[in-house]
Copies of this chain bind each other. A is one copy, B any other.
Amino acid sequence: METDVNTLDNDDAIDYSLTWTEGGVVAPGGFLASGVAAGIKRSGRRDVCVVAALESVPTAAVYTQSSMAAPPVTLTRKHLADGLARAVVVNAGNANACTGAAGHANALAMAETAATQLGCEPHDIAVSSTGVIGVSMPMQAVLSGIREATAALDSATGDDAAEAIMTTDTFLKQTAVRVEVDGRSFTVGGMAKGSGMIMPNMATMLAFLTCDAPLSSAACDAALRAAVDASFNRITVDSDTSTNDMCMLMASGAKGGKGIEPADAAFDAVAAAVAHVCTELARMIVRDGEGATKFIEVTVRGAESDADAPDAARSIANSPLFKTAIFGADANWGRVAMAVGKSSAKVDQDTLEVIFAGITTCRNGMAVEFDEIEATEALAADEIEVIADLHLGQGAASVWTCDLSYEYVRINGEYRT
């Protein structure tokens, strides 16, 4: 799933280049990670992880917008108010959501245990949980898992940590990229988990990024927000939104040199690297959407306004009828027309154009003759591009989603039981 794009050049004012590199969250200097099996998941797999800096470092995060936000989200929001963190502890298998006052106490106990082990204050610890909602946390297992994980911290590989945050994910999601700018070199790494309930803004989705550039807390925050807008907030699996989402960026500054603020020239390069890692992780999440057999990029262009484009694109990408058609390799452009029609975007039915995998199926709002066999073959690919051109203006946006398959129904009909 890693990108094989080795070098990207940007055409902005400042020159920088991005190079893929190994290691995930420990690729940047100044970070340690580990993941252990604490017995929270029934499967016996790894389920507790820690990602730690060597001291408290600038950190930013964005969170679920659900009004049912879980205790770990509430706690982390409080702990990161000062823009600093030493480490994040994460467990999978139990979301610690809808768990009342005990849930809050348990999230705090996770932070306190990690802080004792690492020799820092509890408010320097971010806490994150994912899994089943409404079940008390098995705290004995969780806390001994945290103790074990902090003892196992090393800088060799992020694999164990990335594995420990998986729930119904079928593959490990991590990547890292090196950015060269103005004679300086920084690395950004990250790991994430999906894979159902993926919908802007911030779906059941955890992502933890690390960076060795000397970003200030404000620079961390600015880079992360821009990156999330262009990546995680552009993906949707099933329109559902979770109670536990969190995306976090820690900046160790291990590479030293002059501190980087949002107004500095080097900031754009580091922000591009953060956006690149977020984009790669977001694509992996969609590709691993529950039951997904295909990755779909839905682009709406020619929208009258910039706001119309993502609205129409999401309406298409969230339509169960559209998603099942792609699952069936059916160039059913009528469902694209239906979906843009029900969106709040301005649409002129006499100008709509729909292109499936390079094949124009509808122009001026009407069917175009196309080779159905060719289309079916093109739609059998595992990556599909669908374009709706409204021909009304310059607004454009892309959204990534996956198809809706039998397997989605099976996974979610049987998940809890």
Binding site for B on A (CB under 8 A): 65-69, 95, 97-100, 132-136, 196-197, 199, 238-243, 318-321, 324-325, 327-328, 330, 332-335, 337-342, 346-347, 349-350, 352, 362, 364-367, 376, 404-406, 408-410, 412-417
Give every chain B residue within 8 A of A340 (Cβ-Cβ): 67-68
Say whether A413 contacts B242, CB under 8 Å: no
- CB atoms of A412 and B320 under 8 A apart: yes
| Inter-chain contact A337/B243, CB cutoff 8 Å | yes
Whether A98 and B135, one on each chain, are in contact in the complex, defined by CB atoms closer than 8 angstroms, is no
**Complex Cα–Cα for A346 and B197 (A):** 21
Contact across chains for A338 and B412 when beta carbons are under 8 A apart = no
Tell me the bound Cα distance from A367 to B96 in angstroms: 11
* Inter-chain contacts of A241 with B (CB < 8 A): 338, 341-342
Contact A413 B134 (CB under 8 A): no
Q: Chain A's interface: helix, strand, loop or mixed, by majority?
A: loop
Q: How far does the Cβ of A319 sit from chain B's closest Cβ, in whole Å? A: 5
Assembly stoichiometry (copies): 2
Say whether A239 contacts B239, CB under 8 Å. Answer: yes
Are B240 and A321 within 8 A (Cβ)? yes
Given known contacts A133-B334, A406-B410, is B346 in contact with A417 (CB within 8 Å)?
no
Q: Give the interface centre of A240, A243, A409 by most chain B CB atoms within 10 Å.
A: A409
Q: How far is the CA of A242 from the CA of B338 in the complex (A)?
A: 6
- Contact status A100-B134, CB under 8 Å: no
Knowing A334-B133, A338-B133, A341-B241 touch, does A100 contact B366 (C-beta < 8 A)?
yes
16 contacts between A and B (CB under 8 A): A66-B342, A67-B341, A68-B340, A69-B341, A98-B349, A133-B338, A135-B367, A196-B321, A238-B320, A243-B337, A320-B404, A324-B409, A324-B412, A328-B414, A330-B416, A332-B415
Contact B412 A409, beta carbon cutoff 8 Å: no
Collect the chain B residues with CB atoms within 8 Å of residue A328's CB.
412-415, 417
Contacts of A99 in B (CB 8 A): 366-367
